[in-house]
Chain A
Amino acid sequence: MKPEATGSGTIAARLDLQDPLFWRAGAVSVTLVMIVVLAFLSVDSMRVISVGGRNVPNYDVINYRIGYQFDWSRKMDVPVIGGAQPLFGKTVTEAEATALMDKGKLVIQSRNCMNCHTIFGNGAYYGPDLTKSWLDPAWSQIWMPMTGKATREDAMVEFLMHPDKYPTWTRQMPNLNISEDEARATVAYLKWLSAIDTNGFPANFGKANTSR
């Protein structure tokens, strides 16, 4: 059964690739196999990325010091959880930490931060990536002196509440009417984020000595 195509001897004709039923069976079976594999991988991934899973720490990780170091065996940068370093100087319970995180995430959604910033590199590219913002040397080098605050977290709260007062360059962050409670919750969220194992993204964070 030749179609009316005049291009006889084309690849498609020679290999008899023109029987739709054959390809239909192929399409259905390939798709089903892939969906099943994806389902298994998703179940496994959920175990790893749930709070308290292998890659995502409990929310009360904000009571500890967080670092980001090269791991020679995995050949990538990984977060390192160190000794006690309570956020705002106050150790929180897991329940208190969870409440902070719920709030922090809501701040991030309600202010549409992700349409200027990225988290884990997902979002928009107008502002800097926030994955490791907690570890950004800019807090101690620029914003602590600028805001006159003694700690990184206090400087972060002050910045988030009045970003338009503390610009570091021409592209500035606008004032989004963030209250003090909201800012504190957001800072807690950013600290927790920096403790997530992201397979080494971003690479070499803070290791280069760039100056403007």
Chain B
Amino acid sequence: MYRSQKLSLRYFGAAVALFGVMIVFGLLSALYYLHPSLLFDVFNFSTSKTLHIDTLVIWLLMGFLGAVYWYLPKELGREVEGMWLAELMFWIFCIAVAIVAAVFIFVQYGSSNEFTLWFINQGRKYVEAPRWATIGIVAVMAVFAYNVVATCIKAHKMTGIMWVLVIDLVPLLVVYLDAFPAITNMSVDLYWWWWLVHMWVESTWEVLIGCVMALVLMDVMGTSRRIVEAWLYIEVMLVLGAGILGLGHHYFWIGTPEYWLSIGGFFSALEPLPLLGMVVHAIYDAGTHRMKTTNRPAFYWITAEAFGNFIGAGIWGFMMTLPQINLFSHGTQWTVSHGHFAFWGAYACGVIAVLYVAKQQVSGVNFLDGRAWKWGFGLLNLGMIGMVMGLLLAGMAQAFFGRAIGGSTLMAFTTASENPWFVSGIYARFFFGVIFAAGYVVLVYDLLTAPKHLPMPQATPEPA
């Protein structure tokens, strides 16, 4: 095992732990909707929710870093350059996350000055972390980029996947710089904020996970490099071709010119295409290999990634991406429904697939299967689908009663929030959230228990 793969395992461990923290704060956030007086004035919804979405971003980022550190030496056939720096950065990353979390929990907010922005909370959704920590994340990603590029140079080798990855590192870093400014004009603030949020989740991360999935496919299914690379380029072309201007679907209502209604509507309506392509790709591969794989859990999680990405991001996003609908669905639990389904399908499932790839190699079995992973898979996906359906119901009730009929005032908001459809959706989210949490426990248990040595099914591709 390469040294960088040992680092991967550390990143995976941290990612899974933060995934757990995220679920705890997700359940807590959901509980405020059911018991509004919970911890009132002591630990408010805003704090709990901030922790929920920030740990989300961080655990996925850690999962990606882990995945790349895992595959980089395999892909290039040599140890990663600058490992000591990468190892140092891992600890800096963890310590920074712990400090930020502690400050969020115990200090929560500050008064209106620069000190707060530097050391307590920046109060911009998803990038609430104070500026010092943001600098830390930039440093972590810069070292990561250095590792990747330097290893390619030292290895005198570039594969198609590596090219895509290396170029993708540029926007990954550049748009993150958007996490610093505090612009007074809210329209301009949100304009650039969306470059970060949309360009990360709907473009650069999508490309990054495309690279990771390409590597996993070659690994667990033995798909040929030529096919995988052709698909990767097609995905990149469609994801960026539609996604860059698809950014416009966030520029409908923030003060931006009216032409964004048509540009955003049109291009974002095309965004599901590449995601559909990935589903076709997965089915095609599964068909050519007759579903034979050396790593069944990884295979199932990649398939879940392809379908989840298409349905959660593609279909759920498409539902509300046209301005005529978005005018009413915008900023309701409908958005939350899509946000959960998309992040889960597009990224979380992919990261979990890589966790199983790593588990197989660490435990040294030729064929990975068993029973517990199926329970984890089933409970997590059932929990997620249940939550998403509940939220869709709640969000539609808000769009209809709060927005279209009610006219969006405080009174309309309250009325919609007391509507029985909304309330049942909110209960469903909590109930299925608990099921999801149970699935997480099984997942962790399964990842940590040594697998049985099973006989290899016949006619499988060579294990990686």
Contacts and interface: CB of A to CB of B under 8 A. Distances in A.
A binds B: yes
A158 interface: no
Contacts of B415: 210, 212
Contact of A204 (B188, B407, B418): B407
B123 A208 contact: no
Interface of A: 3-7, 10, 12, 17-20, 23-24, 26-27, 30-31, 34-35, 37-38, 41-42, 44-46, 48-51, 54-56, 74, 98, 101-103, 105-116, 118-126, 128-129, 132, 136-138, 142, 164, 168-172, 174-177, 179, 182, 185, 193, 196-208, 210-212
B324 to A, nearest CB: 11
A108 B123 contact: yes
Interface residues of B, number: 93
B182 to A, nearest CB: 6
A115 B414 contact: no
B112 interface: yes
Interface string B192-230: 010000000000000000000000000000001011011
Contacts of B32: 126
* Majority SS at the chain A contact face: loop
Contacts of A50: 185, 188
B252 A56 contact: no
B414 A168 contact: yes
Given A49-B187, A115-B50, A123-B331, A4 B125 contact: no
B213 to A, nearest CB: 16
Given A23-B230, A55-B257, A112 B46 contact: yes
Contact of A203 (B46, B120, B186, B327): B327
A203 B109 contact: no
Contacts of A10: 284, 288
A139 to B, nearest CB: 9
B124 interface: yes
A211 B381 CA distance: 39
Contacts of B409: 128, 136-138, 205-206, 208, 210
A116 B44 contact: yes
B170 to A, nearest CB: 12
12 contacts: A17-B234, A20-B226, A45-B191, A49-B191, A49-B254, A118-B331, A126-B32, A128-B410, A128-B414, A202-B327, A207-B407, A210-B409
Contact of B236 (A27, A119, A207): A27
Contacts of A118: 331
Contacts of A200: 253, 327
A57 to B, nearest CB: 10
A22 to B, nearest CB: 8
A46 to B, nearest CB: 7
Contacts of B241: 30-31, 34
Contacts of A169: 414, 418
Contacts of B117: 106, 109-110
A7 B285 CA distance: 9
A122 B258 CA distance: 18
A5 B224 contact: yes
B407 A202 contact: yes
Contact of A20 (B47, B121, B230): B230
Contacts of B253: 120-121, 198-201
A172 B36 contact: yes
B326 to A, nearest CB: 9
Given A106-B112, A124-B49, A34 B244 contact: yes
Interface stretch (B93-101, B398-406, B431-439): B398-406
Nearest to B186: A119
